[in-house]
Structure 1
Amino acid sequence: MRPYPTGSWMPIALSADLPAGTVMPAQSPAGPVALWRSRSGRAAAFADRCPHRGMRLSRGFVRGETLSCIYHGWRYAQEGNCLRIPAHPGLTPPDTIRVAMQPVEDGDGIIWISAGEPAAGPPRFDGLAPLRSMMAETDIAALEAAAGTKSAAGLLDYTHNAQTVQLLLAPEGQARTLMHVLVDEDSNPTQRIAASRAAEALRRAAEHISRSGIAQ
């Protein structure tokens, strides 16, 4: 899924959207993940499938520093190994029972994930701060066509009604794109509202292009 090949970082969510003690579904270059944050604030990304019966772990719940499956309560540590099987409370689960994990970096208000081991850390956007995320029902090509410019390493500059906004793009399949809206860190509330409206205008324009087949 362009522009994040295996071994590179993809922005999967904003840090503010994953409070401590919560879990959410997300999409990574390797497929669906359960993105969760422990009570102490550490983020982790598990393959969204419990090894027991295949239930989505993103429907589970966080207990302290562990994630529990909602189906039979199997509990997993941040390292992916199973810690407890409620039906067999006296059993120490073997180390072979574990959930596949992906590398996660959480910094500057953005949660990044990688399929495979990246050679370096995720990019930094000095002077910018995350504002919000929104889903566009279209691909990156249509967003680029609507903006009239190409994205560079997933970052797209767009100007609407004299308001320039930076959009960090993360593809979710063939026809959906997660847009993370970035603004100047010293922007005022009026500028932030304008940036949000600019991003919404781009989304509408790109979805229209996608429906009409203009970007093909």
Structure 2
Amino acid sequence: MPPYSTGSWIPVALSADLPAGTVMPAQSPAGPVALWRSRSGRMAAFADRCPHRGMRLSHGFVRGETLSCIYHGWSYAQAGNCLRIPAHPALTPPDTIRVATQPVEDGGGIIWIPVGEPAAGPPRFDGVTPLRSMVVEADIAALEEAAGTKAAEGLLDYAHDGRTVRLLLAPEGKARTLMHVLVDEDSNPSERIAASRAAEALRRTAEHVAASGTAR
């Protein structure tokens, strides 16, 4: 398992999957989060639960520089404080109504959330770019078993059909892994397709390993 211990960073999503004005669910060390990017491009990570009735904020919608809950429309600023309650438009919400937030960094096409308080920023991978992400219904041990090699600092180099595919792994609970496929920046379309297919093949094998209980 990658050493995502206190003081490290977890790659929770790809930047391309969170364009301006959108929200998406993700998993962090502290639990589920709603990642969102305002219309101006500013990003935030909220605990995925509206303080009002507990609805998942990742089901909500971005309006300008705020995130609104889809249930009753309560709107929150990026700092987590409530700005508007539609049922009481004249009310200024008290500062006690707020969503728990987490630090989040966007760099190299990857969105990172820290574990604890890292001394430095998230990793940067020179010469490669993210291609896609996929969820694997298996833990990292099963992926390592399927790939025939160990992950190092969250990176798994998978040899497939004479080429090496670099995979960035993030655990999502005990039996699920988020796998980001990285390719060379100058790779051509056929190489990118091959890398994607290799990752899909590894996912199938790892899920078979997990289902058969043979991962060590």
TM-score band (shorter)? over 0.9
> Do the aligned residues in 2 keep the contact of 1:146 with 1:202 (CA within 8 Å)?
yes
CA deviation vs aligned residue, 1:122-155 (integer Å, no higher than 9, x gap): 0000001000011111000010111111111111
SS of 1:96's equivalent in the other structure is coil
The alpha-carbon distance between structure 1 residues 6 and 97, as it changes in their structure 2 partners (threshold 3 A), is farther
- In the TM superposition, what are the counterparts of 1:34-183 in structure 2 within 5 Å? 34-183=34-183
- CA separation in 1, counterparts of 2:2 and 2:165? 21
Q: Which deviates further from its counterpart, 194-203 or 60-69?
A: 194-203
CA deviation vs aligned residue, 1:58-80 (integer Å, no higher than 9, x gap): 11100001000111111100111
SS of 1:62's equivalent in the other structure is strand
- CA separation in 1, counterparts of 2:63 and 2:8? 30
- CA separation in 2, counterparts of 1:56 and 1:118? 28
CA deviation vs aligned residue, 1:180-216 (integer Å, no higher than 9, x gap): 0001111111111111111111111111111111114
Aligned partner of 1:22 in structure 2 is 22
**What letter matches 1:155 in structure 2?**
L
Q: TM-score, normalised by structure 1?
A: 0.96
- CA separation in 1, counterparts of 2:118 and 2:75? 28
> Do the aligned residues in 1 keep the contact of 2:2 with 2:153 (CA within 8 Å)?
no
SS of 2:204's equivalent in the other structure is helix
The alpha-carbon distance between structure 1 residues 116 and 82, as it changes in their structure 2 partners (threshold 3 A), is farther
CA deviation vs aligned residue, 1:54-111 (integer Å, no higher than 9, x gap): 1110111000010001111111001111111112211111111111011100111111
- CA separation in 1, counterparts of 2:36 and 2:177? 21
The alpha-carbon distance between structure 1 residues 99 and 132, as it changes in their structure 2 partners (threshold 3 A), is same
- CA separation in 1, counterparts of 2:73 and 2:130? 35
Q: TM-score, normalised by structure 2?
A: 0.96
Q: Which structure 1 segments of 5+ residues have no match? A: none
- CA separation in 1, counterparts of 2:195 and 2:70? 39
Runs (4+) of structure 1 exceeding 4 A deviation are none
1:2 is displaced (CA, Å) by: 5.4
Q: Which deviates further from its counterpart, 36-45 or 111-120?
A: 111-120
Aligned partner of 1:192 in structure 2 is 192
1:167 is displaced (CA, Å) by: 0.3
Q: Which deviates further from its counterpart, 6-15 or 134-143?
A: 6-15
SS of 2:214's equivalent in the other structure is coil
> Do the aligned residues in 2 keep the contact of 1:138 with 1:206 (CA within 8 Å)?
yes
- CA separation in 2, counterparts of 1:196 and 1:51? 39
- CA separation in 2, counterparts of 1:24 and 1:143? 25
Q: Which structure 2 segments of 5+ residues have no match? A: none
> Do the aligned residues in 2 keep the contact of 1:103 with 1:115 (CA within 8 Å)?
no
- CA separation in 2, counterparts of 1:19 and 1:43? 10
> Do the aligned residues in 2 keep the contact of 1:103 with 1:116 (CA within 8 Å)?
no
